[in-house]
């Protein structure tokens, strides 16, 4: 009996404590998630640099919240004496407001986004700086970039899988709601590159909402890639080995039209600026196959370079370009994406990433084949212009940049202008004269 009497108070206290604890957990509003506000910076690493606008121009103020729901209220105070905008946070990733500031150049306004949980009274807020500038081309461009990145942020589809957070734009295009989306995987690295080119990186500050976007997108990007075995090829220079790192594999986009899309992927990976970063997603390694998962960004880029080297068209006078699949007779539209990716890889200066010299030498042959005497570059030959000469001409020019032909042009000169009546010698130097004067087509 004494033992029972000693233990009874302990049992009674434990039961009471558990009851109180359960009441606290399920009924106490104090455990609600506190709002966390982020506003989009114009410069990712310095939120005190204002967003540009011009007097009277309508712009979007942009922010996010850590929570959303019926009791989560936002307030945009525009900082210019006008009435604030108040509403309910229905999407934690999108709390925006449209506003036009009126004033003189150099006037700076401090707007503020506040998010409050009305059930607890807890709140958080962040400022958003806007500066009025003269209405110049630079100001208009900056506003367009600012609005465009927000559009990409708003239209990203976000999801979680395996304990990791992902995001992409791999949805059907529906202009008005998803103009920057596509069923092709290449849309995701293309949109990521827009963020990266403007300083918003996956390694950026957590206070920047776009940091999460890019991190989600980069994880997704590597899921779209696959490895492939590659082997020696025979082209105009002889037998060549495309496998620069000697692992026996290349990497390409795991979807049709991978030649088009690969350059977009290479550009986005390189724009991260982190060659030593290690992938946390993608195809797992298996035996000799290195896969994608667990490799450095630089390793993946080198294997993508190796696949483009492997897939370069080899035979005949039209050799040296690329098309829809590897080793197919080239066309100007696919060639530009190969050149864009390879050029980025070469210019990045990442240790261990190299573009074989023979790839560029062979590409000169295709340039000679595809350039017309009027200076334009054709689609599948120097006389092929199914959509006119204006889109494929830049393709030839970016390939000239890759091969070094553009750099070899005399200072102060530029590629010959496109003219229906011009008949002078083509701009390209070093390519076979027969190709530049008589034209050629893939066999």
- Mean pLDDT by runs of 10 across the 443 residues of the chain is 37 39 41 87 97 98 97 98 98 98 98 98 98 98 98 96 96 77 95 98 98 98 98 96 98 97 98 98 98 98 98 95 96 95 96 96 94 90 88 91 76 44 37 42 67
**What's the confidence (pLDDT) of residue 18?**
38
| pLDDT tens figures, 86-139 | 999 999 999 999 999 999 999 999 999 999 999 999 999 999 999 999 999 999
Are the beta carbons of 313 and 327 closer than 8 angstroms?
yes
Structural domain spans, the chain: 37-135, 157-221, 224-438
Q: Of 67, 77, 199, 177, nearest to 130 (Cα)?
A: 77
**What's the confidence (pLDDT) of residue 172?**
81
**What's the confidence (pLDDT) of residue 424?**
33
**What's the confidence (pLDDT) of residue 351?**
94
**What's the confidence (pLDDT) of residue 392?**
87
**What's the confidence (pLDDT) of residue 409?**
53
Can you read off the two tokens belonging to residue 145?
A: 């970039």
Are the beta carbons of 309 and 244 closer than 8 angstroms?
yes
Are the beta carbons of 195 and 203 closer than 8 angstroms?
no
**What's the confidence (pLDDT) of residue 63?**
98
**What's the confidence (pLDDT) of residue 194?**
98
Are the beta carbons of 370 and 385 closer than 8 angstroms?
no
Cα–Cα distance for residue pair 386/428, rounded to 1 Å: 22
Q: Of 223, 339, 240, 205, nearest to 281 (Cα)?
A: 223
Q: Tell me which fold the domain 37-135 belongs to.
A: Immunoglobulin-like (2.60.40)
Q: Where are the beta strands (DSSP E) in 333-407?
A: none
**What's the confidence (pLDDT) of residue 132?**
98
Can you read off the two tokens belonging to residue 210?
A: 């776009």
**What's the confidence (pLDDT) of residue 436?**
37
Query: Length of the chain in residues, anyone?
Result: 443
- pTM value? 0.86
76's enclosing H/E stretch is strand 72-77
Q: Of 408, 401, 396, 328, nearest to 366 (Cα)?
A: 396
């Amino acid at each position: 009996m004494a033992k029972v009497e000693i233990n009874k108070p302990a049992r009674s206290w434990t039961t009471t404590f558990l009851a109180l604890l359960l009441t606290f957990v399920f009924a106490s509003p104090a455990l609600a998630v506190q709002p966390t506000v982020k506003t989009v910076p114009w410069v990712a690493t310095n939120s005190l640099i204002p967003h540009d606008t011009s007097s009277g121009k309508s712009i979007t103020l942009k922010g996010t919240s850590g929570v959303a729901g019926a009791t989560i209220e936002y307030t945009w105070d525009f900082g210019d004496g006008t009435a604030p905008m108040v509403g309910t946070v229905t999407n934690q990733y999108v709390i925006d407001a449209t506003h036009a500031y009126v004033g003189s150049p150099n006037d700076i306004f401090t707007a503020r986004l506040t998010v409050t949980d009305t059930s607890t009274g807890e709140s958080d807020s962040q400022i958003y700086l806007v500066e009025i500038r003269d209405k110049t081309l630079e100001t208009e461009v900056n506003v367009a970039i600012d609005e465009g990145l927000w559009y990409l942020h708003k239209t990203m589809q976000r999801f979680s899988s395996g304990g990791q957070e992902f995001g992409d734009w791999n949805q059907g295009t529906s202009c008005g709601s998803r103009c920057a989306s596509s069923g092709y995987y290449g849309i995701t690295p293309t949109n990521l590159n827009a963020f990266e080119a403007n300083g918003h990186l996956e390694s950026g500050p957590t206070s920047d909402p776009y940091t999460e976007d890019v991190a989600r997108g980069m994880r997704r990007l590597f899921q779209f890639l696959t490895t492939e075995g590659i082997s020696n090829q025979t082209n105009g220079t002889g037998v060549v080995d495309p496998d620069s790192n000697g692992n026996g594999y290349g990497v390409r986009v795991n979807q049709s039209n991978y030649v088009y899309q690969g350059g977009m992927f290479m550009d986005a990976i390189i724009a991260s600026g982190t060659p030593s970063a290690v992938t946390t997603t993608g195809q797992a390694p298996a035996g000799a196959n290195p896969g994608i998962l667990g490799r450095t960004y630089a390793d993946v880029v080198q294997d993508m370079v190796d696949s483009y080297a492997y897939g370069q068209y080899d035979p005949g006078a039209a050799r040296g370009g690329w098309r829809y699949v590897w080793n197919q007779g080239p066309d100007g539209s696919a060639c530009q994406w190969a050149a864009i990716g390879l050029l980025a890889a070469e210019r990045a200066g990442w240790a261990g990433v190299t573009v074989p010299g023979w790839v560029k030498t062979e590409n000169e042959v295709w340039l000679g084949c595809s350039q017309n005497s009027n200076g334009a570059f054709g689609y599948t030959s120097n006389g092929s212009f199914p959509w006119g000469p204006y889109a494929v001409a830049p393709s030839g020019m970016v390939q000239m940049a890759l091969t070094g032909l553009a750099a070899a042009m005399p200072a102060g000169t530029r590629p010959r202008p496109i003219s229906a009546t011009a008949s002078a010698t083509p701009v390209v130097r070093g390519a076979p004269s027969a190709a530049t004067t008589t034209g050629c087509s893939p066999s």
